[in-house]
A and B are shown apart, each in its own frame.
Chain A
Amino acid sequence: MKLFVSSSPHLRSKKTTTGVMLDVIIALMPALIMAVVYFGFKALLLALICVGTCVLTEYICRKVMKRQNTIADLSAAVTGLLLALNLPVDINPFIAVFGSVVAIVVVKQMFGGIGYNFVNPALAARVVLMVSFPTAMTSWTNTRFMEAVDGVSSATPLATGEGAYSYLDLFLGNIGGSMGEICTLAILLGGIYLVARRVISPIIPVVYLGTAAVMSLILGLDPLYQLMSGGIVLGAVFMATDYVTSPITKWGKVIFGVGLGILTMLIRTYSNLPEGVSFAILLMNILVPHIEKLTKPKSFGEAKKEKGEKV
């Protein structure tokens, strides 16, 4: 008789990394479906291009680095899908491919692959594209339900200023913007699914959006209009909650969310950039190790530190 000997515990839950990633993909489906509804099948095509490039790049990367292949964990697919949803639907496919390669090679694999990237790969890639191809990245296409004002392109609700779109249009996504960020309803559905499946904790999205709302009031803006415009909901639900690049402690998540809300609204109001979500999240990503250090939870029975005592 051959007996396996291992150190306890001898049980495992059925939840796996692949399962987590699959849940994220499922949660992104409403946003993708709404993109197809608004822009037609070219939206789906763009998503397939990004996902395909990300998965293929990851496969080649791991092969070249002679490491265990990790495409089966679906994390590369999630990165691809997120990147696609952050792009204008009519972007040159080569730009999309370039962005995907940047996300996987530069941001993810060069730092050690899944779990080791210090910023969100999809977001970092989006920022690289924004800086490299500013015009292409801000040429928005009209949704099929919009009256064409000047033929093809439309403006985001942030660029037009408050009042250009009705709350209903904003909520349903009949506005200009990246193909996955426009429909607030679809993104919220995905978020509720993730929370219900216990994939994410609601702390970061709630604190982020709440802080942004308060900041809007302070800055004299319309909170509802601000929250349903641009990429803030998509960012709050899917990007800021990225496990690898957000704090794992409860209070860390709160600080992270507050920081995001403040930074986003400050960039939106005072900088020349059209949108502040990407930069806010990237900046906060970099601060995560420090936030975690600050918010180390007090362990069971840990003595209170005396004043002046060295750690």
Chain B
Amino acid sequence: MENNLKFPTKPFRTKGGAKVPHRKNTAQCESVVLTDIPEVVIPMSQHIGAPCKVAVQKGDKVFVGTVVGDTDAFVSAPVHSSVSGEVKDIITMTLPNGVVTEAVVITSDGLFEKDPDLKPPVVESKEDFLKAVRASGLVGLGGAGFPAHVKLNVPKGKEIDTLLINCAECEPYITADHREVLENSWAVMSGIYAVKDILGVKRVIIGVEKNKPDAIKLLKEIADNEKADPDDVVRVLPLKSSYPQGAEKVLIKATTGRVVPAGGLPSDVGCVVMNVASVAFIADYLKTGMPLVRKRLTVDGSAIRNPRNVIVPIGTPVNRLIELCGGYKEECGKLLMGGPMMGIALFEDSAPILKQNNAILAFNVKDASTAKGGSCIRCGKCVDACPMNLVPCTIVRAAKNNQVDVLKEYNTMTCMECGCCTVVCPAQRYLVQSIRLGKAILREEAKKEKGAEVKK
């Protein structure tokens, strides 16, 4: 791998993708810090992995940064109170993605007093660093919510030579990462250096979509600055503005030319990918010791009166957030947590903001109406659009007919559910939705096979 460690001057070719509108309406809106939140709801499961156990009791006094939930499990991340005040209740709730979990309801006293026990972590070794990252509660802020300390704890035997910073932000509407770069550029660079030293990589590439020229300019200035980047290991690579440029495997291909094997991880090809907001948070945390308690996100959509970027305490109910953005200007038909391509539709507007959340989008009834899927005309547009080079229409047919062998043959599990096939489908079919069904069938099948093996 040594010989291809040069910095690419232009992105490597990636296949497929869909032309989606950018609608980055809030790119020039400086983030507003919102504090007028009377109550927050902090769910115990805001990450991939084991849910936390509640660590406080009803009536407890908590501060900003007080741990309210933790667990011994490795793949997990603690959750903290995002306000100071009193634990009002401990409830069981259903998250927008269908996960049922416990949650701590905290009444805010409006003072945002810091937990007196918080102090910057002392980092002398890699173990200290990973411990600190775990204690900070950081999860992948790009949307997946994978605990950061697990990602940074690269398994032995896997050599990492490249750190990729994901600043593609290819989802329409969302500008939170863009604003993070503009408003917090010091932390971005400082965080990159911290992570780079821990991983011991020789090369850091920041991938940014070309539709953020000001962010590219600023990042380049920092990366070319001898003081900020003394080892000259950080470079910025402007990427084509096309969805899904920010998907992990696509980003790795575009920036390094490497192909992550099916079912594999970025570490299999010597890469670690981190979201730009995640590295900036690490820098802030190392400096202040304040865990992940607030989040920068974009509030936009056709039904929002004042679209803007905000910084809110985690656990803020969506309806309170929208009130603080001027409320709805027309009847809201669909509320999304995340972008329109991969975001989750909320079933109630009282859902709390989660750690990995980067946008709340509210659409009017017209934009919310759903398409009526017709018959497949086999135009092949889904095949052209698939970044994973799959044949979506065939997989869909197999999923609907429960053909396990065909689902396997067509590598259904490789689908990352980006939704490109569905966006381009002229018959307005629900393709990726049916592929999800296919993946579920295969997971069931794998469980069955495993069960059969155990019996043997």
B346 touches A3 (CB 8 A): yes
User: Which residues of the partner chain B approach A7 to less than 8 Å between Cβ atoms?
Assistant: 345, 430, 432-433, 436
Beyond A115-B376, A297-B391, whether A11 also contacts B423 by CB under 8 A is yes
Report the minimum CB–CB distance from A8 to chain B (whole Å).
5
B18 within 8 A of A: yes
A298 within 8 A of B: yes
Return A246 CB to nearest CB of chain B, in Å.
8
Q: How large is the interface on A (under 10, 10 to 19, 20 to 34, 35 or more residues)?
A: 35 or more
Q: Is A1 an interface residue (CB 8 A)?
A: yes
CA distance A308 to B330 in the complex (A): 63
Interface residue? B48 (CB, 8 A): no
Contact status of A3 and B378, CB under 8 A, knowing A8-B419, A12-B423, A299-B388: no
Given A3-B348, A19-B426: A302 touches B262 (CB 8 Å cut-off): yes
Contact in complex: B368, A4 (CB < 8 Å):
yes
Out of A8, A17, A244, name the residue touching B344 (CB < 8 Å): A8
B335 at the interface (CB under 8 A from A): yes
Secondary structure at the A interface, as helix, strand, loop or mixed, is loop
B271 nearest CB across to chain A (Å)? 13
Give B425 Cβ to nearest chain A Cβ, in Å: 8
Per the bound structure, the CA–CA distance linking A269 and B376 in Å amounts to 37
Query: Does B422 have its Cβ within 8 Å of any Cβ on chain A?
Result: yes
Q: Give the interface size bracket for B toward A.
A: 35 or more
Q: Does A248 interact with chain B (Cβ within 8 Å)? A: yes
Residues of A within 8 A of B259 (CB): 300-301
Indicate with 1 or 0, residue by residue over B368-387, a CB within 8 angstroms of chain A CB atoms: 11110011111110010001
CB-contacts of B17-55 with A (<8 A): 18-21
**Contact call B345/A115, Cβ cutoff below 8 A:** no
Known interface pairs A3-B334, A300-B249; A12-B19 also in contact (CB < 8 Å): no
- Among A70, A249, A292, A297, the most chain B Cβ lie within 10 Å of the Cβ of A297
A244 to B432: give the CA distance in the assembly, Å: 21
Minimal beta-carbon separation of B67 from chain A (angstroms): 33
Within 8 A of B (CB), among A1-27: 1-13, 15-17, 19-20
Q: Which of A8, A116, A244, A246 contacts B341 (CB 8 A)?
A: A8
Question: 1/0 contact trace for B403-444 toward A, CB 8 Å?
Answer: 000000111001001010011111110101100100000000
Find chain A residues with CB under 8 A from B19 CB: 13
Complex partner residue of A300 from B172, B262, B378, B427, CB under 8 angstroms? B262
A249/B423 in contact, CB under 8 A: no
**Would you call A243 and B379 a contact (CB within 8 A)?**
yes
**Interface membership of B340, Cβ < 8 A:** yes
Q: Which of A5, A292, A303 contacts B261 (CB 8 A)?
A: A303
Interface: A73 (CB within 8 A): yes
Interface residues in chain A, defined as those with a beta carbon under 8 Å from any beta carbon in chain B: 1-13, 15-17, 19-20, 70, 73, 75, 112-116, 201, 243-244, 246, 248-249, 292, 296-303, 311
21 contacts between A and B (CB under 8 A): A3-B334, A3-B347, A6-B345, A9-B422, A10-B345, A10-B363, A11-B419, A15-B426, A16-B428, A115-B375, A116-B375, A243-B378, A248-B378, A248-B379, A248-B383, A248-B393, A297-B383, A299-B410, A300-B390, A301-B260, A301-B262
Task: Point out residues on B near A: beta carbons under 8 Å.
Answer: 15, 18-21, 172, 249, 253, 259-264, 331-336, 338, 340-349, 363, 368-371, 374-380, 383, 387-391, 393-394, 409-411, 414, 417, 419, 422-428, 430, 432-433, 436
